[in-house]
Structure 1
Amino acid sequence: MQKFSLDFSDVRKLIVKSLSSDVQISSSQMEYSVTGPEKDLLIEKKNGTLEISVTGRGMIPIFNHDSTPISLTIPTQLDEIIVTTISGDVKANHVKAENMKFKTTSGEISLNRLLANFCEIKTVSGDISISQQSSRKIVITTVSGDIKIKEVVCEDYEWIISSISGDVEIETVGVPSLRILFKTVGGDLTSNIGYVREGKEYVFGDGRMRLIVNTTSGDLTIKSTNRAERAESIEKKILKLVAEGKLSYEQAKEILKELV
């Protein structure tokens, strides 16, 4: 494993490619870097685009069998982020960009505290986990992977979710404000909170956020948690990270301020 500094001056687009290596991305205001296998890491900057790939022999940009993880710290704001893997997992935390695309075949995708105007997420069999997502439009597509979206704050968004056999679970903060068009052959919708039917749509609250869900046999579950439970859960996670030395006291203090 080797750590390399990254020059993001004049960079507006980030592309990351991997075969089996896991990819982890987080933001920073201080230092930008990539950590990965020294021999197989190709970094290329051209025309406002920074591309990072795991390469094979001869520096040909084909994917290697090496599963050594790639870890990146990047600026808090880019125009576009594209991450592609075959079997490697993808994790992104506290990242901002106008447009984002995450694609994998069998790897899992885990996204936390992402801010984007448009976000596209695709898997074949890998599960998708999303938390505290703020995106005006999201398009999520999977064949058999399950989709779990937590801590949703219902705003004027439109999210489109498509799955063949994977289940979809959405957990909102407080009473949901959703207008859902659920198209399915054999899937069921369940919820721990009431809704009304308006034609083919399921309406929760005033229906501020639009959700289109297409499944063949996958079920759709809508859950509601109150804000006090959410804050308590986040505080416990933060304290655990501090105890493990993964988060400084000052960083924890800043995050806790955002909960107030």
Structure 2
Amino acid sequence: MADAQAAPTIAMRGIVKRFGGVTALDDVDLDAHSGEVLAIVGDNGAGKSTLIKILTGVYQPSAGRIEMDGTPLSMADHSDAIALGIDAVYQTLALADHLPPAANVFLGNELTTSVLGVPLLDNRRMRSEAEKVLFDRLGVRLPDMDSPAASLSGGQRQAIAIARAVYHADLRVLVMDEPTAALGPQETARTLRLIETLREQGLAVILISHSLDDVFEVADRVQVMRRGKRVGVVNVADVTTQDVLGLIVGAGDETTESAA
């Protein structure tokens, strides 16, 4: 687990996001450290998705700032976030179901070779690199690298989406949006192990989940959102699921910052 007293890898300060007359986020902070899993929880509409879309460059904040290692960041879009070492694996996974695993790992960033001056897809190298990142970074060997992604299990598809993100050597922060939402128990367990592997490799992993069981399985800290505000940040080791549920629903209407 990361040292909570160390400077955060990524820091969001005073984040506000307005859509017309609606305030989706109101003065929200977030700290994420290398080598930890920070879970963000809250009911639908709490502001979780808006917050991570700002972190990953999809939205720009109405107010507030984002820093990495103390340096202010400026992101106009998601590609800027990726270039800065921040990426996300969303619940939809964004895989091309008709393409095999390697093609999905390099989707949009295909490797090419040149034959007689004509650029061609380097399918052999993409397959080799995909197999390497899946095994070296995630410990995953797919049974078939030639079948379309649609034929793979939910956990295998999740591994391909993660491999696409971690292939970038400069990745520092990875957001996982509901990674186990459509998985059975065995596939969920495998995906949670992948998250633990990424933490052990020193990434700052931000986990968005409605499953408190999953959160308490892999997270080091939990940030609770409610109605566009941060209402608590707690160490998993210090609380129970009932404590976190109380923060989610506003039991006692107290703000808890025991592990900010």
Q: Which one scores higher on RCO, CA 8 angstroms, separation ≥ 6?
A: 2
Structure with higher helix content? 2
Taking structure 1 as the reference length, what is the TM-score of the superposition? 0.29
Taking structure 2 as the reference length, what is the TM-score of the superposition? 0.29
Structure with higher strand content? 1
